[in-house]
Amino acid sequence: MLRFRNLTRRRWVLIGAALAPSVGCQAPKEPIVWTPKPGVGWSHVATQAVAEPHDSYQIVTTRQTTGLFPANMSVTRISLEPDKGQASVIQPGLYADPRNEFLQWNTAFDDQMAVSEVFPIDQRDLGGGQADPVQILAAFRALHARLGLIYAVNELSETESEMFGVLYDTEANEPLAAIHAQALSVSPPTEEPDKDKRVNMWETDSRALVRAKFERQVHACVRELIRKDQPALVETPTGWTPAGPVQPVEWPPRNPRTRR
């Protein structure tokens, strides 16, 4: 019996020794290599040739706008993705997540009373049409958006991104401005970071930085358009007569009997 126990013990020792190298030594993980995605061009967001600013915005309309504001705005993002039927065919599509877009852009214009609301559109709003600027602009009009923003994002390298777009007057069916932003990733500190403190990607990654920068460019562009816009002329409808006497409004109101 004692001999049997010793044999069993030796057998387990041999099995453990055989397994130890395979458990302790793992193959090193392969580094993640950045893969470039198909780049979106200005032709995917513009219905006609426009000036292409670099890291800024440019008002491209030459006419004086009148009564353009207050206005609502619709936004959408173009991306190039492989076709579901043919992987080798790259087709433009609307990439935006409506929930994220609604929150981002309405927050961006919280301080602008002349922009009443911002709402996104997605692929189904095109009614089966292609995701080209003309079709998207038609969808903006169908949804009664006074302004429309079509934009795109390109990852130029592992550490550099750009974001650009065109802002439209949907009623006039013409571009108002072209906007472009570009950003580089910020390197983390060289010293060893605190174990309990992680690197904030929203403050270091180029994709997050360019998003915030583009948002500021669009905000500044719309503010300039608001400043240059002339108020619409309000005319009294023909045949309209006031229901009561026209007189200045008194506030606070006083009792007519006590009025002297």
3-class DSSP state of 215: helix
Asked if residue 257 has pLDDT above 70, the reply is: no
% of the chain surpassing 90 pLDDT? 49
Higher pLDDT, 234 or 175: 175
- What is the per-residue pLDDT for 172? 94
Query: What mean pLDDT do residues 210-232 have?
Result: 95
- What is the per-residue pLDDT for 180? 97
The CATH number of the structural domain formed by 51-187+199-228 is 3.40.50
Decide: 184 and 160 in contact? Cβ < 8 Å.
yes
Higher pLDDT, 186 or 53: 53
- What is the per-residue pLDDT for 2? 44
Q: Which of 49-63, 87-101, 152-166, 242-256 has the lowest mean pLDDT?
A: 242-256
- What is the per-residue pLDDT for 14? 52
- What is the per-residue pLDDT for 144? 96
Q: From its phi and psi, is residue 55 left (phi > 0), alpha (psi between -120 and 50) or beta?
A: left
Decide: 52 and 177 in contact? Cβ < 8 Å.
no
The H or E element that residue 257 is part of is none
Which of 93, 72, 212 lies closest to 147 in space, CA to CA?
A: 72
- What is the per-residue pLDDT for 238? 77
Which of 80, 26, 56 lies closest to 180 in space, CA to CA?
A: 56
Which of 219, 234, 221 lies closest to 67 in space, CA to CA?
A: 234
- Tell me the HSE value of 168 on the side-chain side, using a 13 A CA sphere: 27
* Sequential DSSP letters for 132-180: SHHHHHHHHHHTT-SEEEEEEEEEEETTEEEEEEEEEETTTTEEEEEEE
As a whole number of Å, the CA-based R_g of the chain is: 30
Higher pLDDT, 16 or 158: 158
Q: With bands split at pLDDT 50, 70 and 90, how would you rate the model's confidence at 1?
A: low
What is the Cα 139 distance to its own chain's centre?
Answer: 18
| Dist. CA 44–CA 1, nearest whole Å | 83
Q: With bands split at pLDDT 50, 70 and 90, how would you rate the model's confidence at 117?
A: very high
- What is the per-residue pLDDT for 209? 93
- What is the per-residue pLDDT for 190? 59
The H or E element that residue 16 is part of is helix 2-24
Task: Please provide residue 52's backbone torsions phi and psi, each rounded to the nearest 5 degrees.
Answer: -110, 90
% of the chain surpassing 70 pLDDT? 75
Which two structure tokens, joined as six digits, stand for 70? Answer: 């207050």
Q: With bands split at pLDDT 50, 70 and 90, how would you rate the model's confidence at 4?
A: very low
> What pLDDT, in 10s, does the model give residues 26-79?
556 666 666 878 889 999 999 999 999 999 999 999 999 999 999 999 999 999
Which two structure tokens, joined as six digits, stand for 250? Answer: 């008194």
Asked if residue 86 has pLDDT above 70, the reply is: no
| Dist. CA 76–CA 120, nearest whole Å | 6
The H or E element that residue 71 is part of is strand 71-82
What is the Cα 32 distance to its own chain's centre?
Answer: 26
Q: Which of 98-102, 135-139, 166-170 has the lowest mean pLDDT?
A: 98-102
Higher pLDDT, 51 or 21: 51
Average pLDDT of every residue of the chain? 82
